[in-house]
């Protein structure tokens, strides 16, 4: 036993758990959030209001939530996964009944002090539910058709509710995140090959249905697809967002125009500059170097999640940690691809950087689950039992 491990084992239980946290993950998350605050300060023209100050308060609340979740043993979160999943479904149904609207979509529940977006909560509760299911299911049954059908239904149910809001971006993230958890759990690759083939058929059907009586998507969603394929056809209309985004990305160059010197953001050419398109604001201010630095921090966070999953002996903890890592990867990969014109604009925020409450708080809770898996894994003979007390 090393000197540090000896002292950690002798300290009081609560402090021992704090010392046992993955502080590299915590510091990296805080670094990304700090960079986000800088960009929000920049897009407000050098002011903490209206975005940076509120985002700082939300991050502080999220950090407290992460610590709180980390202190609770991971087996507790396994036991309440089904409850949280059911709560997420109830909230999604309530959005249809009493939800508040914005930007042509009904996605939020107004709690007075904040607007809760249940679809963000479902991104984490779905991972928890699937991890609990595969922790319960014997490995020999993972790829049997009747046992594959259960997680498919668990995924499709919230996806169907989110599509109705409508929120195509989040529904796709739920679908991809849930599928990734199934793959991580060991479901045979043939199922995924079938899904890919069906996906190709669905995309074909979506494109063929445009303008017909059986049109699958909404008109605005088809406009997004057309904009993705040919943004230059309507640079002042449907293609305005992506056109201005590309101008901002290119004008940043290697090192950027300088902090608060980006013309696209300061002169309001760039729409949604503090939410979905905040990455282009960062790229204009700090250039390729700043963008690459953010990407490196993101990769580190994913690596810490994978490392925790590999170190733990608990199946639920391992699947949750990998599931959170994959979900986080999908967050920033889809957003970056979207603002660079590599994917259609689907309204996905940049994690820890974009202005927003629900997405930030839920993501911090997800990192709390990873921390819980890290804190409560056995390190030395007998130490795992000490941490469970």
Give residue-wise pLDDT tens across range 265-274. 666 667 777 7
Q: Between vectors from CA 213 to CA 207 and to CA 217, what angle results, nearest 5°?
A: 45
Chain centroid to CA 376: 24
- Say if 6 falls within a structural domain: no
Residue carrying structure tokens 């309530």? 94
d(CA 125, CA 331): 16
Please compute the mean of the pLDDT values over residues 254-259 and round it to a whole number: 81
Length of the chain: 389
- Say if 7 falls within a structural domain: no
In this model, does residue 253 exceed pLDDT 50?
A: yes
In this model, does residue 3 exceed pLDDT 50?
A: no
- Is the CB of residue 321 less than 8 Å from the CB of residue 328? no
- Say if 208 falls within a structural domain: yes
- Say if 4 falls within a structural domain: no
- The burial of 136, by beta-carbon neighbours within 10 Å (0-12 exposed, 13-18 middle, 19 or more buried), is given as exposed
Please compute the mean of the pLDDT values over residues 285-314 and round it to a whole number: 92
- Is the CB of residue 335 less than 8 Å from the CB of residue 348? yes
Show the domain range for 126.
14-388
d(CA 365, CA 368): 5
- Say if 60 falls within a structural domain: yes
Q: What is the pLDDT of residues 39-58, one digit of tens each?
A: 898 888 778 888 888 899 99
- Is the CB of residue 355 less than 8 Å from the CB of residue 274? yes
In this model, does residue 384 exceed pLDDT 50?
A: no
How many domains does the chain contain in total?
1
Give 12's pLDDT tier (boundaries 50, 70, 90).
very low
pLDDT for 308: 93
Please compute the mean of the pLDDT values over residues 65-91 and round it to a whole number: 93
Find the range with the poorest average confidence among 78-87, 93-102, 220-229, 344-353: 220-229
In this model, does residue 10 exceed pLDDT 70?
A: no
- Say if 2 falls within a structural domain: no
pLDDT for 257: 82
Distances (CA, A) of 51 to 38, 117, 389: 11, 18, 42
Distances (CA, A) of 86 to 60, 70, 151, 186: 28, 22, 14, 25
Q: What is the pTM of this model?
A: 0.85
**34 C-beta neighbours (distance < 10 Å), count:** 12
- Say if 8 falls within a structural domain: no
- Is the CB of residue 181 less than 8 Å from the CB of residue 131? yes
d(CA 55, CA 39): 11
């Amino acid at each position: 036993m090393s000197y540090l491990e000896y002292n950690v084992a002798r300290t009081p239980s609560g402090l021992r758990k704090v010392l046992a946290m993955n502080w590299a993950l915590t510091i990296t998350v805080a670094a990304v959030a700090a960079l986000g605050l800088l960009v929000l300060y920049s897009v407000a023209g050098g002011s903490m209001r209206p975005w940076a100050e509120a985002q700082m308060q939300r991050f502080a609340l999220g950090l407290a939530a992460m610590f709180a979740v980390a202190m609770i043993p991971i087996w507790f979160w396994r036991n309440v996964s089904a409850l949280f999943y059911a709560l997420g479904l109830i909230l999604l149904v309530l959005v249809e009944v009493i939800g508040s609207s914005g930007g042509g979509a009904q996605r939020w529940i107004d709690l007075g002090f904040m607007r809760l977006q249940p679809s963000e909560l479902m991104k984490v509760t779905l991972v928890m539910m699937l991890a609990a299911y595969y922790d319960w299911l014997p490995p020999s049954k993972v790829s049997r058709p009747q046992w594959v059908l259960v997680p498919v239904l668990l995924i499709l149910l919230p996806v169907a509710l989110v599509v109705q809001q409508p929120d195509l971006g989040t529904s796709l993230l739920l679908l991809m995140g849930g599928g990734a958890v199934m793959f991580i759990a060991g479901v045979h690759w043939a199922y995924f090959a079938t899904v890919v083939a069906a996906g190709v058929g669905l995309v074909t059907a979506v494109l063929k249905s445009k303008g017909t009586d059986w049109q699958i998507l909404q008109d605005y969603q088809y406009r997004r697809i057309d904009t993705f394929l040919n943004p230059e056809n309507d640079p002042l209309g449907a293609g305005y967002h992506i056109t201005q985004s590309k101008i901002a990305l290119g004008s940043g160059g290697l090192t950027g125009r300088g902090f608060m010197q980006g013309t696209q953001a300061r002169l309001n050419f760039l729409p949604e500059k503090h939410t979905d398109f905040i990455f282009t604001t960062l790229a204009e201010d700090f250039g390729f170097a700043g963008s690459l630095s953010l990407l490196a921090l993101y990769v580190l966070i994913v690596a810490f999640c994978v490392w925790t999953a590999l170190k733990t002996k608990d199946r639920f903890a391992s699947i949750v940690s990998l599931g959170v890592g994959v979900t986080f990867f999908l967050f920033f990969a889809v957003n970056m691809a979207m603002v660079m014109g590599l994917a259609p604009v689907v309204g996905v925020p940049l994690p820890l950087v974009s202005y927003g409450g629900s997405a930030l708080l839920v993501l911090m809770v997800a990192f709390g689950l990873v921390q819980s898996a890290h804190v409560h894994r056995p390190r030395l003979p007998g130490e795992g039992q000490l941490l469970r007390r």
